[in-house]
Amino acid sequence: MQINKLKEEINNFSSDDKNPAEVFRIKFLGSHGSVKSLMGEMKNVAPENKREMGKVLNELKLFAENKWEELKKTTDDDKQQTTENGIDLTLPGDALQIGSRHPISIVRNKIVSIFQRLGFAVAEGPEIEDDWHNFTALNLPENHPARDMQDTFYVSQNPAWMLRTHTSSVQVREMEKGKLPIRIICPGRVYRNETISARAHCFFNQVEGLYIADNVSFADLKQTLYFFVQEMFGKEIKVRFRPSYFPFTEPSAEMDISCLICGGAGCNVCKHTGWVEILGCGMVHPNVLENCGIDSKKYTGFAFGMGIERITMLKYQIKDLRIFSENDLRFLKQFTSAV
């Protein structure tokens, strides 16, 4: 009975000690251990039972020794997995949260890369502008009615400064450098004092483009933009140009693409017209060229501008542009795999 109990105790042995094998050895196999002392009882066993008893006790000793070996092995494994500082290397690490690009960045990068393939270079400029670069040089003299088209945030301490209403100001800065030909695109954030709604915000992102050289024609403009929308939205896309008015281009046009949702049949997104407006463009107004010191008799050029939010909303079927600036991870995480 005592042997069976001991066997069970050995089998169920566990210890919180750093070295359970050693605790086990002392408890059972050491000179004062329970297995050893049980063997000491042999002298009290009747001679006719000695042989049988010896066998049982030997088995018990072997059983205990096997358990000891087992414990030593796990202790050795633990030693390898635990550093001297007590850091448990087997614990799972803290998972790194993989971020994703903002959909506006994804689309801006795509637009930039398409135009870079056509030889356009990226130009950047300040977001706080003066009247000359934002308006006057672009053929919007003071009191020009077109200034009302763009509600502007002025710097209250100095109303001569404002938050740029378009990235055309970057084009002016490039033209003033006087290095021709010019072939640039200007991505950047712009600001307008508009009521925030699903379709308008007080800040948004634009990409504007400018190409000035000898003999640049409206045909060049059309082909460039046609290439862009095909690369951006697919080869099946159709385009149309509608006459429009901008103070800085003449002639001016707005470009529509065939609706991506209904393919031109008519739906809510295209207001049942089959067409969606995506950008404004035109030939650079001679006054603008002259304002920037470029001979308008010698050089011609085209310019275009589009809102990145609008392109992104069309590309990803996003219905409310306010969500772009709300930093809602449930929205942003959907673009983890987008490129």
Question: In the complex, what is the shortest distance from the CB of residue 320 to Zn ion, in angstroms, rounded to a whole number?
Answer: 18
Nearer CB in complex with Zn ion: 186/270: 270
Among 71, 172, 270, 321, binds Zn ion (CB under 5 A): 270
Q: By CB under 5 A, name the one of 122, 146, 180, 261 that touches Zn ion.
A: 261
Of the candidate residues 262, 318, 323, 332, the single one contacting Zn ion (CB under 5 A):
262
From 259, 284, 306, 311, residue interacting with Zn ion (rule: CB under 5 A): 259
Q: Total binding residues for Zn ion by CB under 5 A?
A: 6
On the 0-12 / 13-18 / 19+ scale of CB atoms within 10 A, 278 is buried
Cβ-Cβ contacts under 8 Å for 65 (sequence gap 6 or more): 29
Q: Is residue 237 a contact residue for Zn ion (CB under 5 A)?
A: no
Minimum CB separation of residue 257 from Zn ion in Å reads 11
CB of 259 to Zn ion, least distance (A): 3
Comparison of 170 and 313: residue with beta carbon closer to Zn ion: 313
Least spacing, CB of residue 272 vs Zn ion, in Å: 7
Q: Return the number of the residue (267 or 323) whose C-beta is nearest Zn ion.
A: 267
Interface residue list for Zn ion (CB under 5 A): 259, 261-262, 267, 269-270
